[in-house]
Structure 1
Amino acid sequence: MALNFFDQFMSPTFMGIPLMILALALPWILYPAASKRWQDNRLLTLQGWLIGGFTKQLLMPVGVGGHKWAMLLTSLMVFLVTINVLGLLPYTFTPTTQLSLNMGFAVPMWLATVIIGMRNKPTEALGHLLPEGTPVPLIPILIIIETISLFIRPLALGVRLTANLTAGHLLIQLIATAVFVLMSTMPTVAILTATVLFLLTLLEVAVAVIQAYVFVLLLSLYLQENV
């Protein structure tokens, strides 16, 4: 049994060896690779249809220059959805509850969009720091505010993903603990609480998918501003 509610977010180890690499590599094993046959089976067809539909929806508002990011953003979406959902299973670990990992995803991707904007259209990229028609006395203040909002984007990406998943896991563990405690004293209340726990678990599956989608969608919006 965990000593406290936050032990579940500690990086797992086995005989002193960190298992973070295994937790990050395992999701790719779960997806079947494309076969060399003329026609794929139902699973591969469904997988290709979902990935193709998501890629089209994600890159529809992005310019042609941003379509080079299609494989990268789609792979990131599939990866985040997989590890988020797998983290809801018993005796598993969710790597995306670690802020350091999420920042490792957010900072390089955000920085790449900024560099692309500075390289392709530096005037428009710098123009975002000062809205058109700003009074002269407010120009220094607005430039500082817009610069801070620009550099806070990766932090917002990482914290949003971490906070939503951490809060959901904590809430599930709290309600599950209440079910075990109430089972011997108040069985009726325990059953009702277990029903709430089941509904919350379904909600957390949706949150795991939505948060991964929001993470990638915001990256695509940042890319749209710079291509």
Structure 2
Amino acid sequence: MALNFFDQFMSPTYMGIPLMTLALTLPWMLYPTPSDRWSHNRLITLQGWFINRFTQQLLLPLNPGGHKWALILTSLMIFLLSMNLLGLLPYTFTPTTQLSLNMGLAVPFWLATVIIGMRNQPTAALGHLLPEGTPILLIPVLIIIETISLFIRPLALGVRLTANLTAGHLFIQIIATAVFVLLPLMTTVALLTSMVLFLLTLLEIAVAMIQAYVFVLLLSLYLQENV
């Protein structure tokens, strides 16, 4: 039993070597590589179908200029989904519970969308800072508010992913600790609590999938405003 519930969110090390690199590399090793054969096995076929469907769904609201981002956004979705789900396994580490990693993903992608907007259509990009028909007296205030909201976007992306996964993992550990404590004292209550733990685990699996999708979806919406 961990002395501190938050110890599970610390970056683990082995012989002084951080295991963050292994946790970031492992998801790519689990996916089979498609071959040049005419027919593939069921796993590769299912993998290709999922990627195609997700890419089509992701590109629906985007202009043709944003379709160039299809590969990198789909790869990011698969990467986040894999890390979130693998982190639910026992004795594993979830890199996406680290705010530094999430901000390291959110800030460059957000900044890239802003730079693209400023380069391709600077008038429209700057026009988002001031809604049409704004009274003259409110123009300075609205520009400041919209600028702050623009710079808060990457922080919201990173904090949303970190907070949801951290809260879910912490809640699962608390309920699991309660089950182990109650098992020798009140077996019936422990069994009922274990059922709650099972349902909570299913919910956390859904949260891990949804949060990965929401992260990429918000990036695509930011991209849509700038292409």
Which of the five TM-score ranges fits, normalised by the shorter chain? over 0.9
> Separation in 2 of the partners of 1:2 and 1:219?
36
What letter corresponds to residue 217 of structure 1 in structure 2?
A: L
1:50-103 deviations in Å (ceiling 9; x for gaps): 000000000111011100100000000000000000000000000000000000
Matches within 5 A, 1:1-227: 1-227=1-227
Secondary structure, aligned partner of 1:110? helix
User: How far apart are residue 197 of structure 1 and its match?
Assistant: 0.1
Map Cα deviations across residues 137-196 of structure 1 (whole Å, 9 max, x no partner). Answer: 100000000000000000000000000000000000000000001001110000000000
Cα distance in 1 for residues equivalent to 2:37 and 2:59: 29
> For residues 79-138 of structure 1, what are the alpha-carbon distances to aligned partners after superposition, in whole Å with 9 as ceiling and x for unaligned?
000000000000000000000000000000000000000011000000000001111010
Gaps of 5+ in 2: none
Distance 1:179 1:87 in 2: 21
Runs of 4+ in 1 over 4 A off after TM superposition: none
Q: Secondary structure at the match of 2:223?
A: helix
Q: Report the Cα distance in structure 1 between the residues aligned to 2:154 and 2:173, rounded to whole angstroms.
A: 29
1:219 is paired with a residue whose SS is helix
**2: distance between equivalents of 1:29 and 1:93?**
16
> Which amino acid in the other structure matches residue 74 of structure 2?
T
Output the aligned Cα RMSD. 0.5
Q: Choose 96-105 or 37-46, whichever is displaced more.
A: 37-46
Give the match's secondary structure for 2:201. Answer: helix
TM-score (norm 1): 0.99
Cα offset, 1:211, TM superposition: 0.1
* Distance of 2:202 and 2:91 partners within structure 1: 18
Distance (whole Å) between structure 2 residues aligned to residue 143 and residue 118 of structure 1: 16
CA distance in 1: counterparts of 2:197 and 2:28, whole angstroms: 29
The whole-number CA distance in structure 2 between the counterparts of 1:3 and 1:191 is 24
Taking structure 2 as the reference length, what is the TM-score of the superposition? 0.99
Equivalent position SS for 1:184: coil
User: Matched residue pairs, number?
Assistant: 227
Gaps of 5+ in 1: none
In 1, distance between residues paired with 2:117 and 2:59? 17
